[in-house]
Amino acid sequence: MTQDELKAAVADAAVKEIEPHLEKDTVLGIGTGSTANLFIDRLGPLRDRFKGAVASSEASAKRLQALGIEVFELNNVGDVPFYIDGADEVNANLQMIKGGGAALTREKIVAACAKRFICIADGSKYVNQLGNFPLPVEVIPMARSYVARELVKLGADPVYRQGVVTDNGNQIIDCFDFMIDDPASMEARINAIVGVVTNGLFAQRGADVLLLGKTDGVERTALR
């Protein structure tokens, strides 16, 4: 199976996971990226079964709206029962690196408001140790150089993601050569640097369920 077929399989599995819980007043939290896009596409035919969605990016919001799904402001919704999103890396504790698509901050905010985070990923995203994928850090533009120097002190090789402006008007630094022993502690240390908006470690609030696409089927892991 190709990587795209594995992504499609986990998108199908996520629909099966949430469909029995859809109610007329359900607002879903929706992530960003190619796997999340496949999930969004599958929500189109179900649009009359739930109220709408909160999106973690402008791109996902547009895709949802194009399918006739109403997109709500998170501030007007409160908690969401599910947040469904992809990952760049995920480990056995369902901690993740996210933000390859630069949407990490909004993703983390919607995930924080979700009762259940369902991570959908093809098998290539599963790792024993997080860090092979360069860890994204969203920064206030004027703090970029300062934050980069602080990241070097933590052992990273920071690289400015040229030409990318986040939906929040900020910039992204990617941390290369940065294998992470203790994801929750590193998440907190990086977030404590002045000028950091957030980093792409989703360790303190990881996923509750992982749907991992493998050639022999979708493997489901539930921690909670």
Contacts (Cβ under 8 Å, ≥6 apart) of 188: 204
What distance in Å separates the CA atoms of residue 18 and residue 23, rounded to the nearest whole number? 10
Which of 119, 118, 26, 24 has its CA nearest to residue 78?
Answer: 26
177 annotated ligand binder? no
> Which of 103/173 has CB closer to ligand 5RP?
103
The alpha helices in the chain, defined as continuous H runs, are 3-18, 34-43, 58-66, 104-112, 144-153, 183-191
What distance in Å separates the CA atoms of residue 221 and residue 47, rounded to the nearest whole number? 27
> Which of 193/198 has CB closer to ligand 5RP?
198
Cβ atoms 35, 14 nearer than 8 A: no
101 annotated ligand binder? yes
34 annotated ligand binder? yes
The burial of 141, by beta-carbon neighbours within 10 Å (0-12 exposed, 13-18 middle, 19 or more buried), is given as: exposed
- In whole angstroms, how close is the CB of 23 to ligand 5RP at the nearest point? 26
> Which of 5/145 has CB closer to ligand 5RP?
5
- Residues marked active site are found at 107
Residues that bind ligand 5RP (CB under 6 A): 31-35, 85-88, 98-104, 107
Cα-Cα end-to-end distance for the chain:
30
> Which of 86/131 has CB closer to ligand 5RP?
86
103 annotated ligand binder? no
Q: DSSP readout, 21-71?
A: G--TT-EEEE--SHHHHHHHHHHGGGGGGS-EEEESSHHHHHHHHHTT--B
Binding residues for substrate: 32-35, 85-88, 98-101, 125
Query: Which residues are part of a known binding site?
Result: 32-35, 85-88, 98-101, 125
